[in-house]
Amino acid sequence: MDIVSREAAVLWPTYVRPPVEFVRGEGVRLWDDNGRSYLDFLGGIAVVAAGHAHPKVVSAVAGQLATLGHTSNLYFTGPQVDLAERLVDRFGGGAKVFFSNSGAEAVEAAIKLARRWGRANRGEQAIGVVACEGGFHGRTLGALAATGKPAIKEAFEPLPPGFRHVPFGDAAALAAAIGPDTAAVLVEPIQGEAGIRVPPDGYLQAVRELTARAGVLLIVDEIQSGMGRTGRFFAHQHAGIRPDVVTMAKALGSGFPIGATIAVDEVASAMRPGDHGTTFGGNPVACAAAMATLDVIEPLLEGHVANVSRRLGDGLWQLRDRIDTPGAALRGTGLWFGLDLGQDGPASAKDAAAAALSRGLVVNPVTETVLRLAPPLVVEEAEVEEGLLRLGGALEEVGVCR
């Protein structure tokens, strides 16, 4: 039996996968079970920032697992405190961290924190969260309720109450939605799953001003945009703002599961012993993976990401200019782009991604019309050139590029 048949017999039918089995990765490349090499321009959905099997990450994980793998959060462990200190420093100090295992868990922790803080500071009614249409925050019930994608929510209703959604990028709509029952506003600096949607200039600053004036928390979801993806450690740093709470995951462990929720001191102090917990979150191995990942990617933010981003962006703009379909666009920053193939064109993003895969390039049809590119931050300019050639050939093959 091939892996497709074997999977169908034993796994939930929750994923639709292309017919390829990856068995090995190194740097920006993957290999399938037939030995064929692929350029990975998705990076495990913006996760493998340090590249596949980076020696520093592998060594850190193996060394920590051989020393101390798990104790639970009933006891102190040094790697957890080391990582928390480093993240607090990158956030700007004056904050505390809760570690979990995933982005959805990081968002759940932020929602619980907002309700705890809201009741203590704004009254019993202040448990509400205002989020954005098109936003994605995870698939657990609380994170799903915060997500602004009705199509993936309806089958699981009723969801937890208290969530309101407004158009992304519309500060006036956000201001109108904040009321006495609001504890927090939850926003992505750039919407990833909606097709790498970048808000208008000044939007994040306006959101920060509105929330501060209303006396509610600003939670920024940096799960996909953080860890250097946009060229800064956090995407919100481009706007020069300081949120009250930030959620992280994905690239934090460069493939090893870890999530983090960072909150400024006065907000984090709303939580009490027993209010939240996790068995595996912040375990020594995950924290060692995260520390090694930081050691790899932080030096890349001193010029490398900007250089390769410029070349990737230039090449994608050239491809965009060869697309005649109405609505075609390019959005993104850093090493995170969405190439919108436009409406009613000759091929869907899924068709284009399949053609790219056949040419040895991994990209993702994040929406019906948008290809998402999020290569590891260690990608080199020669690999960018190679990826652009493969993508251009794929787009020509499906009739998107003239």
How many CB atoms sit inside 10 A of residue 325's CB? 16
Question: What is the model's pLDDT at position 368?
Answer: 97
- Please state, rounded to an integer, the average pLDDT across all residues of the chain: 97
> Domains in the chain, start-ordered, CATH in brackets?
3-54+300-397 (3.90.1150.10), 55-299 (3.40.640.10)
Question: What is the model's pLDDT at position 169?
Answer: 98
**What proportion of the chain, given as a percentage, has pLDDT over 90?**
99
Name the pLDDT band for 1 (thresholds 50, 70, 90).
low
Helix, strand, coil percent content, the chain, rounded in steps of 5 = 40, 20, 40
User: What's the pLDDT tens digit per position in 24-49?
Assistant: 999 999 999 999 999 999 999 999 99
User: What's the pLDDT tens digit per position in 207-229?
Assistant: 999 999 999 999 999 999 999 99
User: What's the pLDDT tens digit per position in 371-384?
Assistant: 999 999 999 999 99
Q: The dihedral of CA 189, 192, 193, 199: what is its sign? A: positive
The Cα angle at residue 118 between residues 123 and 116, in degrees rounded to 5: 115
Name the pLDDT band for 397 (thresholds 50, 70, 90).
very high
User: What's the pLDDT tens digit per position in 276-307?
Assistant: 999 999 999 999 999 999 999 999 999 999 99
pTM: 0.97
Name the pLDDT band for 147 (thresholds 50, 70, 90).
very high
pLDDT at residue 109 tops 80: yes
Name the pLDDT band for 402 (thresholds 50, 70, 90).
confident
Q: State the catalytic residues.
A: 136, 221, 250
Question: What is the model's pLDDT at position 208?
Answer: 98
Cβ neighbours of residue 169 closer than 8 Å, sequence gap 6 or more: 197, 199, 200, 203
pLDDT at residue 308 tops 70: yes
- What Å distances lie between residue 257 and 11, 115, 159, 164, 395, CA to CA? 20, 26, 26, 30, 34
